[in-house]
Amino acid sequence: MTASRAPAEPTVREFEATVESVDGREVVLDETYFYPASGGQPADRGTLDGHLVDDVVERDGAVVHALDPDADAALAPGDEVTGLIDDAFRTYCARAHTASHVLYGAARRVADDLGYAGFDIAETKVRVDLTTAEPLGDGDLIELERLANRAVWDSLPVSWATHSAGEARDVDGIAFNTKTEEGAMSGGDAVRVVTVGEADDPWDVAACGGTHVANTSEIGPIAVLERSNPGEGVTRVEFAVGPTAIDELGAVHAAALDAATALDARVGELPDAVSRLRDEADRLEAELRDAREELLAARLREFPTADVGGARWAVGTVDDADPNELREPATAAVAADDLDALAAVGTGDAPFVVVAADGDAVDAGDAVGAVTDEFGGGGGGGPTFAQGGGLDADPEAVAAWLRER
């Protein structure tokens, strides 16, 4: 059984080893510092004797190095080889993995009944899935980012040690479940435990088999990108570290400055400025709605009247209107103009009809039913107001039929 030495010695980038076995392009060494993909952390990148390593996995207790399919490597058991690990990618993964612990520690201080549901390191972002009693809101995300960056600034030590499974599970506050155990079990009864902060007052402590930096100050800035809910009771938080985080924070700052300029305010005054703008928009919307109702009412008052079956009707067509917008002005017109009923036929790609009636001489629902029987479509309503849509006829023809029936 050959375990990777990467979690225990994450700063090693070059090493010598002996080839134990070769199966096609898969190579097993007597020892390795390549990290195999595990627990959400991707495999290391690098080379063996100059041959590109395409993937690294742990299989049947051995770390298997899969060489690039194009590599013409004539390796054989017993060969001495040099392994080189991609420094930039290992450093990024170590920072990102440690950042996930820091963020989880921040979540401990924000959310109640916190649980861990997994994590993943991608090229430009990291995700952490949390189980919480209540979904995290925007304010919680801001606090997570603030607390995480404060933990980075405070330069907390990061350490790791191996314990028995029983001892590990007894560690106060440890994150230890089926998700975090992957990679943490180093064989037998041994469990690797990573602690962020001092042992007597840790920021976070978890069973974990990944690579980490030695101090949180090495992580750099952390920028929370977004949240989502991939499952019931689970909040997914996506964040960035390093250059992506710097770019994200810069973009957010630029957007805030642009918004402040547009609103003639300082960045710190944006919430009040936006609130005033929203109030003004609401006021203008209400005024526009009132003006539109008055315009529609004026249009309806201009409808010609006709005697239909002994009842006085006003019938006409109206464009650029929604059936629901016509309810109040049509009902008001019937009451104000001493009408028994008013019918408005909407023009456009989807002709409709609305009928307002007094409910005595004319039943609006029956009137709409007669229209849809004649011209297709469907609708419904009560004695004083009804509407129908999907009419298969020219609106003027529908209006003429209503006047003449």
Higher pLDDT, 403 or 85: 85
What pLDDT score does 187 carry? 52
- The answer to whether the beta carbons of residues 39 and 210 sit under 8 Å apart is yes
Report the chain's mean pLDDT, rounded to a whole number.
Answer: 90
pLDDT in tens, 306-329: 998 889 999 999 988 888 889 989
Q: Which residue has the higher pLDDT, 116 or 337?
A: 116
Lowest mean pLDDT among 165-174, 243-252, 276-285, 344-353: 165-174
What sign results for the dihedral spanned by CA atoms 393, 397, 401, 403? positive
Spell 366-401 as b/e; 16+ CB within 10 A means b. ebbbebbebbebebebeebbbbbbebebebeebbeb
Give all strands of the β-sheet with 222-231 in edge-to-edge order: 115-121, 126-131, 234-241, 222-231
Q: Which residues pair with 67 in a beta bridge?
A: 53
C-alpha distances (whole Å) from 262 to each of 15, 257, 266, 364, 372 are: 57, 9, 10, 50, 51
What is the total residue count of the chain? 405
Q: Are 216 and 152 in contact (CB under 8 A)?
A: yes
pLDDT tens per residue across span 185-224: 555 578 889 999 998 899 999 989 999 999 999 999 999 9
Query: Which residue(s) pair with 202 in the sheet?
Result: 197
